[in-house]
């Protein structure tokens, strides 16, 4: 299947710095894609190229196999990190204006605005000025503006920053619903933990380069370190030929929490058998690395000198 | 896409004309203009017709009939004895009482009395004295044997008829006042329009930036369309406002002025008119001078400026001789060209800065040529519309919108007009190009103190 969006060796430089140095990506149709990386990594630059706010210096973006052109604009819905509304404009009029700019006819737009305002509990607010709305309501209006023209690709830049938890959940549900209807979603964020459970695929970007990409499950398995978390009662022997206790935390009443890394060739059941013999096991699970941990490890491997300066 | 550009322009237009501030401003300015106009009329009226002086003539020389009323001063006969007249003129709200005593000596008339309410103004005193002097000098001249007819012939009234001679030797009535007035009005209109609405463009862009809607917009509209849509939309707002101001001022003036005129006539004008027909004699020299200044065709018989049809006709005939087609065509070109040129620059400034207070440093180089061309236009070009200053300023695109419209009513050689329009078009195309580049980069630039050097770099950013 042709990916809905493909970036091929995209490069972009500004006067004083390089924003993207040869980034290639493929975003499968109907997936939720996480574009992850610290602030200043180049995520927003890439998105602005995809939304055609700027152009790439080199490389190519393909939308469903076609070279990206202005005609694709209306198939993309973009909620920027710097998002706002005309403060002195009525909610209904503003949505109508934005919908018409995205190619909807007036009649269509009116219909959909009605639908969305009802859905987000904003029905009585259409005639109010945006500045009279609470911040949470404004966020809902911004989200409606992003998706009301039924784009097949929705790009959300730092979607949950600034959203209150209730709205964030509401938006999450809507996003999942939109995916069910066939839309593809790109999340761009530096807070990797906020989206990793939602994403099917991710790409990690650091310092203008892609450092890793693929399906979340595959990546996490790839970066498994054969480490297990154990909780129980008693005390673990610190030295053993088959495994190494990386960390052990003693808790009240003789309880403990430990992270244990198996040596090569040792199976989890071997550890379990040993544990059963020496302590009372209350919990035993494999430690799967978080995307954030994978990111740090990956960056340390590929460019160890840069990590010290970074705040992840 | 053209339709997006139109949508943007439409929004800019509609949101602005529906604002309360717009409606209030649109309604209040014509009222102010009409009120000001009415005020001026009233002043003119009180200046010209308010002074009514009663005359009690006991001299037996029939002096009262010889006193000549002017628009500023009207003489009416007093009724009753002197004592009654003293009370009577105050009750009738007249401005004074002139008493010509019985033992008046024509050769040495020093016992004439003038009664007025409170202090009598010097102006009033001089006017009455002048009227009396005339009567006495006429009397004395008649005593030497001159007939009234000879007296009338002795009086001279010089009228300069000004005629403009063009290159082909064709003659046309010229009226420096009318031409200057038109030049002034056109320049002021362009100057005000560019300033008022240029600043609105800048504010509008600034608001979009500070409300953080730019990026949302730019994902569906090209920056150029967004900028031009705003400029054109605001121009339409301005044109609407100017048009409404024109119509409403005219309407309000026609309603207000008669009211004021009526109020000014609460004094017994009809009575005055009736009485003054008897008093009215040949016109005064003062009257003649006034008419001569205003009108090349006024005759010594003219009673007043307003009542003189030939005078009005002369101004209209002068207006008719102005190159109206060229003026109108030129005004539209320079109006639009100048607005686009400056509007784009104002838009660029709005895009370049984060904070409205930072606009000052960039505003200065934009407003400078505008203010200079207005000032120099008023002080130099208006006086010498064919001089070198006028020529060069009407060629430079930044100053030509004002400099050239000042020159237009005075007549401008075709080649100069063509060259100037060409340069203006070149000028606004390039400023729009430069502004669009600054705009494109600036609208997404936050938290950076922009310098001129920075702006220069933005010009050469790749798309």
- Better-predicted residue by pLDDT, B364 or B273: B364
Nearest to B406 by CA among B385, B429, B433, B431: B385
pLDDT in tens, B94-125: 778 888 887 777 777 778 888 887 777 777 78
- Better-predicted residue by pLDDT, B85 or A92: A92
Residue A212: strand, helix, or coil = strand
Nearest to B335 by CA among B188, B434, B212, B207: B188
Is residue B84 assigned to a domain? yes
Residue A203: strand, helix, or coil = strand
**What is the average pLDDT value for chain A, to the nearest integer?**
87
pTM of the model: 0.71
Measured in degrees and rounded to the nearest 5, phi and psi for residue A243 equal -150, 175
Chain A: which residues have CB within 8 Å of chain B? 14-15, 48, 51-55, 57, 70, 73-74, 76, 78-80, 82-89, 97-98, 100-102, 142, 145
CB spacing of B463 vs A54 below 8 angstroms: yes
Say if CB B286 and CB B305 are below 8 A apart: no
Measured in degrees and rounded to the nearest 5, phi and psi for residue B425 equal -60, -45
* Same domain, yes or no: B70 and B195: no
Is residue B154 assigned to a domain? no
Give the pLDDT score at A193: 78
pLDDT in tens, B228-255: 999 999 999 988 988 888 888 888 777 7
Size of interface A-B (CB pairs under 8 A): 68
B residues 420-449 closer than 8 Å to A (CB): 444, 446
CB spacing of B214 vs A83 below 8 angstroms: no
Give the pLDDT score at B214: 85
Say if CB B393 and CB B187 are below 8 A apart: no
B residues 210-229 closer than 8 Å to A (CB): 211-222
**B149 near A CB under 8 A:** no
CB spacing of A101 vs B217 below 8 angstroms: yes
* Same domain, yes or no: B19 and B55: no
Determine which helix (DSSP H) or strand (DSSP E) holds A262, and give its type and residue range.
strand A255-262
Domain count, chain B: 2
Strands B51-57 and B96-100, how do they pair? parallel
Determine which helix (DSSP H) or strand (DSSP E) holds A21, and give its type and residue range.
strand A18-27
Determine which helix (DSSP H) or strand (DSSP E) holds B438, and give its type and residue range.
helix B414-442
> A305 pLDDT band (50/70/90 cuts)?
low
Give the pLDDT score at B159: 61
Contacts of B217 in chain A (CB under 8 A): 101
> B185 pLDDT band (50/70/90 cuts)?
confident
Give the pLDDT score at B81: 78
**B151 near A CB under 8 A:** no
* Same domain, yes or no: B379 and B247: yes
Dihedral (CA of B105, B111, B115, B121) sign: positive
Shortest CB distance from A53 goes to which of B207, B213, B219?
B219
Contacts of A142 in chain B (CB under 8 A): 216
The residue to which tokens 């008419």 are assigned: B291
* Same domain, yes or no: B338 and B426: yes
* Same domain, yes or no: B56 and B10: no
Residues 6+ apart with CB under 8 A from B125: B114
* DSSP class per residue in B267-304: TTHHHHHHHHHHH--SPPHHHHHHHHHH-TT--TT---
Q: What is the mean pLDDT of residues B362-388?
A: 87
Dist. CA B398–CA B389, nearest whole Å:
14
Interior CA angle at A250 toward A247 and A253, to 5°? 155
Q: What is the mean pLDDT of residues B55-63?
A: 79
> Would the pLDDT of B447 be above 80?
no
Largest CA distance in chain B: 101
pLDDT in tens, A247-291: 888 888 888 899 998 888 888 898 888 888 888 899 999 988 888
Give the pLDDT score at B206: 87
Q: What is the mean pLDDT of residues A37-58?
A: 88
CB spacing of B220 vs A84 below 8 angstroms: no
* Same domain, yes or no: B92 and B191: no
* Same domain, yes or no: B343 and B372: yes
Chain B residue closest to A75 (CA)?
A: B220
Is residue B134 assigned to a domain? yes
Considering A166-175, B8-17, B251-260, the range whose residues carry the highest mean pLDDT is B8-17
Q: What is the mean pLDDT of residues A171-198?
A: 87
Token digits of residue A121: 């509990």
- What's the gap between Cα A213 and its chain centre? 12
pLDDT in tens, B300-323: 443 444 444 445 455 555 556 667
CB spacing of A76 vs B219 below 8 angstroms: yes
Determine which helix (DSSP H) or strand (DSSP E) holds B423, and give its type and residue range.
helix B414-442
**B395 near A CB under 8 A:** no
Shortest CB distance from A101 goes to which of B7, B15, B444?
B7
Which residue, B119, B147, B175, sits at the end of a domain?
B147
Say if CB B77 and CB B57 are below 8 A apart: yes
What distance in Å separates residue B229's CA from the closest CA in chain A? 13
**What is the average pLDDT value for chain B, to the nearest integer?**
77
Strands A18-27 and A66-67, how do they pair? unpaired
Measured CA distances, B231 to A236, B76, B188, B190 (Å):
75, 63, 20, 16
Give the pLDDT score at B163: 63
CB spacing of A84 vs B11 below 8 angstroms: no
* DSSP class per residue in B135-189: HHHHHHHHHTT--HHHHHHH-----PPPEEE-TT--EEE--HHHHHHHHHHHHHH
Which residue, B147, B169, B196, sits at the end of a domain?
B147
* Same domain, yes or no: B129 and B232: no
The interface predicted TM-score (ipTM) is 0.80
A5-19, A209-223, B243-257, B341-355 — which is least confidently predicted? Answer: B243-257
Long-range contacts at A292-300 (CB < 8 A, ≥ 24 apart): A292/A192, A292/A193, A293/A223, A294/A204, A294/A212, A294/A219, A294/A220, A294/A223, A295/A36, A295/A37, A295/A192, A295/A204, A295/A206, A295/A211, A295/A212, A297/A223, A298/A204, A298/A211, A298/A212, A298/A223, A299/A206, A299/A211
Dist. CA B296–CA B283, nearest whole Å:
17
Dist. CA B267–CA A287, nearest whole Å:
105
Dist. CA A229–CA A259, nearest whole Å:
5
**B15 near A CB under 8 A:** yes
Contacts of B214 in chain A (CB under 8 A): 82, 84
* Same domain, yes or no: B57 and B200: no
Contacts of A14 in chain B (CB under 8 A): 461
Range of the domain at B253: 2-27+186-258+320-458
Which residue, B147, B172, B198, sits at the end of a domain?
B147
Is residue B287 assigned to a domain? no
Contacts of A98 in chain B (CB under 8 A): 216, 220
Torsion, CA A38, CA A40, CA A42, CA A46, rounded to 10? 100
Is residue B153 assigned to a domain? no
> Would the pLDDT of B71 be above 80?
no
Dist. CA B277–CA B393, nearest whole Å:
56
CB spacing of A15 vs B11 below 8 angstroms: no
> Would the pLDDT of B412 be above 80?
yes
Strands B163-165 and A66-67, how do they pair? unpaired
Interior CA angle at B85 toward B80 and B87, to 5°? 130
Q: What is the mean pLDDT of residues A56-70?
A: 90
Give the neighbor-by-neighbor strand order of the sheet with B73-77. B73-77, B51-57, B96-100, B113-116
> Would the pLDDT of A142 be above 80?
yes
Shortest CB distance from B211 goes to which of A70, A76, A86?
A86
Measured in degrees and rounded to the nearest 5, phi and psi for residue B161 equal -100, 120
* Same domain, yes or no: B232 and B116: no
With a pLDDT cut of 90, the percent of chain B lying above it is: 11
Residues 6+ apart with CB under 8 A from B444: A48, A53, B214, B215, B218
Is residue B38 assigned to a domain? no
Dist. CA B406–CA B184, nearest whole Å:
6
3-state helix, strand, coil in chain B (%, to 5): 70, 5, 25
Give the pLDDT score at A292: 85
Say if CB B234 and CB B343 are below 8 A apart: yes
Nearest to A45 by CA among A11, A6, A96, A73: A11
Shortest CB distance from B215 goes to which of A74, A80, A102?
A80
Give the pLDDT score at B462: 59
* Among A82, A96, A129, the residue to mutate for chain B (most B Cβ within 10 A): A82
Is residue B326 assigned to a domain? yes
Say if CB A95 and CB A56 are below 8 A apart: no
Chain A residue closest to B3 (CA)?
A: A101
Token digits of residue A202: 């991710």
> Would the pLDDT of B442 be above 60?
yes
Strands A58-63 and A32-36, how do they pair? unpaired
> B41 pLDDT band (50/70/90 cuts)?
confident
Shortest CB distance from B15 goes to which of A74, A82, A89?
A89
> Would the pLDDT of A184 be above 90?
yes
Shortest CB distance from A83 goes to which of B4, B212, B444?
B212
> Would the pLDDT of B142 be above 70?
yes
Chain A residue closest to B206 (CA)?
A: A86
CB spacing of B212 vs A82 below 8 angstroms: yes
* Same domain, yes or no: B418 and B351: yes
With a pLDDT cut of 70, the percent of chain B lying above it is: 77
Nearest to B218 by CA among B9, B11, B4, B456: B4
Contacts of A101 in chain B (CB under 8 A): 4, 7-8, 217, 220-221
- Better-predicted residue by pLDDT, B295 or A62: A62
> A95 pLDDT band (50/70/90 cuts)?
very high
Interior CA angle at A301 toward A295 and A302, to 5°? 90
* Among B3, B20, B216, the residue to mutate for chain A (most A Cβ within 10 A): B216
> Would the pLDDT of A109 be above 70?
yes
Which residue(s) pair with A67 in the sheet? Answer: A62
CB spacing of A85 vs B211 below 8 angstroms: yes
CATH number at residue B73: 3.40.190.10
**B208 near A CB under 8 A:** yes
> B170 pLDDT band (50/70/90 cuts)?
low
Dist. CA A251–CA A142, nearest whole Å:
47
DSSP assignment, residue B70? B
> A144 pLDDT band (50/70/90 cuts)?
very high
Say if CB B405 and CB B182 are below 8 A apart: no
CB spacing of A53 vs B11 below 8 angstroms: no
Measured in degrees and rounded to the nearest 5, phi and psi for residue B8 equal -65, -50
> A92 pLDDT band (50/70/90 cuts)?
very high
Dist. CA A4–CA A27, nearest whole Å:
6
Interior CA angle at B140 toward B134 and B146, to 5°? 105
Is residue B130 assigned to a domain? yes
* Same domain, yes or no: B364 and B227: yes
Give the pLDDT score at B409: 83
Say if CB A62 and CB A215 are below 8 A apart: no
Measured CA distances, A285 to A271, A282, A301, B244 (Å):
11, 10, 26, 78
């Amino acid at each position: 299947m042709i990916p809905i969006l493909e970036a091929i060796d995209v490069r972009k430089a500004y006067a004083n710095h390089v924003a993207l140095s040869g980034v290639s990506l493929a975003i499968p149709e109907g997936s939720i894609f996480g574009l992850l990386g610290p602030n200043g990594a180049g995520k927003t630059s890439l998105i602005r190229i995809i939304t055609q706010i700027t152009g790439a210096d080199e490389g190519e973006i393909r939308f469903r196999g076609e070279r990206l052109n202005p005609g694709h604009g209306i198939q993309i819905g973009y909620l920027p990190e710097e998002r706002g509304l005309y403060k002195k404009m009525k909610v209904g009029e503003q949505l109508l204006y934005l919908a018409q700019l995205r190619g909807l006819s007036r009649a269509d737009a009116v219909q959909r605005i009605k639908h969305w305002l009802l859905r987000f509990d904003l029905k009585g607010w259409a005639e109010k000025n945006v500045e009279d709305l609470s911040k949470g309501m404004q966020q809902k209006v911004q989200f409606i503006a992003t998706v009301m023209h039924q784009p097949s690709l929705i790009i959300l830049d730092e979607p949950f920053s600034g959203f209150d938890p209730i709205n964030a959940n509401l938006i999450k549900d809507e996003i999942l619903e939109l995916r069910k209807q066939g839309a593809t979603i790109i999340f761009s964020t530096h807070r990797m933990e906020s989206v990793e459970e939602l994403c099917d695929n991710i790409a990690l970007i650091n310092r203008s380069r892609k450092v890793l990409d693929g399906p979340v499950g595959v990546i996490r398995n790839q970066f498994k370190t054969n480490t297990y978390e154990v909780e129980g009662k008693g005390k673990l022997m610190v030295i053993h030929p088959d495994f190494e206790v990386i960390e052990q935390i003693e808790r009240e009443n003789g309880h403990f929490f430990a992270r244990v890394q198996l040596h090569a060739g040792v199976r989890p059941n071997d550890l379990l058998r040993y544990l059963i013999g020496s302590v009372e096991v209350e919990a035993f699970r494999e430690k799967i690395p978080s995307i954030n941990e994978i990111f740090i490890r990956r960056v340390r491997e590929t460019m160890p000198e840069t990590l010290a300066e970074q705040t992840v | 896409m053209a339709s997006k550009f139109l949508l943007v322009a439409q929004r800019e237009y509609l949101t602005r004309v529906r604002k309360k501030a717009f409606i209030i401003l649109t309604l209040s300015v014509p009222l102010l203009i009409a009120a000001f106009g009415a005020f001026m009329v009233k002043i003119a009226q009180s200046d010209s017709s308010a002074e009514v002086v009663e005359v009690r003539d006991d001299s037996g020389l029939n002096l009262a009939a010889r006193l000549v009323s002017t628009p500023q001063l009207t003489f009416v006969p007093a009724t009753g004895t002197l004592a009654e007249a003293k009370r009577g003129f105050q009750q009738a709200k007249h401005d004074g009482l002139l008493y010509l005593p019985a033992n008046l000596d024509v050769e040495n008339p020093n016992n004439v009395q003038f009664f007025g309410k409170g202090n009598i103004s010097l102006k009033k005193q001089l006017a009455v004295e002048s009227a009396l002097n005339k009567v006495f000098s006429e009397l004395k001249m008649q005593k030497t044997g001159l007939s009234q007819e000879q007296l009338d012939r002795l009086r001279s009234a010089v009228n300069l008829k000004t005629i403009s001679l063009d290159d082909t030797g064709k003659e046309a009535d010229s009226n420096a006042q009318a031409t200057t007035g038109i030049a002034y009005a056109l320049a002021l209109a362009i100057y005000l329009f560019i300033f008022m609405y240029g600043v609105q463009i800048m504010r509008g862009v600034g608001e979009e930036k500070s409300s953080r809607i730019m990026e949302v917009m730019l994902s569906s509209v090209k920056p150029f369309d967004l900028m031009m849509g705003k400029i054109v939309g605001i121009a339409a707002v301005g044109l609407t406002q100017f048009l409404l101001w024109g119509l409403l001022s005219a309407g309000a003036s026609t309603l207000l002025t008669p009211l004021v005129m009526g109020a000014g006539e609460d004094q017994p004008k009809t009575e005055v008119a009736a009485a003054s027909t008897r008093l009215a004699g040949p016109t005064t020299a003062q009257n003649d001078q006034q008419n001569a200044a205003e009108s090349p065709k006024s005759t010594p018989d003219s009673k007043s400026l307003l009542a003189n049809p030939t005078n009005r006709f002369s101004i209209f005939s002068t207006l008719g001789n102005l190159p109206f087609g060229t003026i109108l065509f030129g005004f539209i070109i320079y109006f639009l060209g100048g607005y686009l040129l400056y509007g784009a620059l104002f838009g660029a400034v709005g895009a370049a800065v984060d904070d409205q207070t930072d606009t000052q440093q960039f505003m200065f180089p934009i407003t400078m040529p505008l203010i200079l061309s207005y000032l120099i236009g008023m002080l130099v070009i208006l006086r010498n519309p064919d001089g070198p200053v006028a020529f060069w300023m009407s060629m430079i695109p930044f100053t030509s919108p004002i400099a050239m419209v000042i020159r237009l009513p005075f007549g401008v050689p075709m080649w100069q007009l063509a060259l100037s329009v060409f340069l203006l078009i070149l000028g606004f195309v390039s400023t729009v190009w430069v502004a669009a580049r600054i705009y494109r980069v600036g609208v997404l630039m936050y938290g950076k103190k922009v310098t001129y050097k920075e702006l220069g770099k933005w010009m050469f950013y790749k798309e």
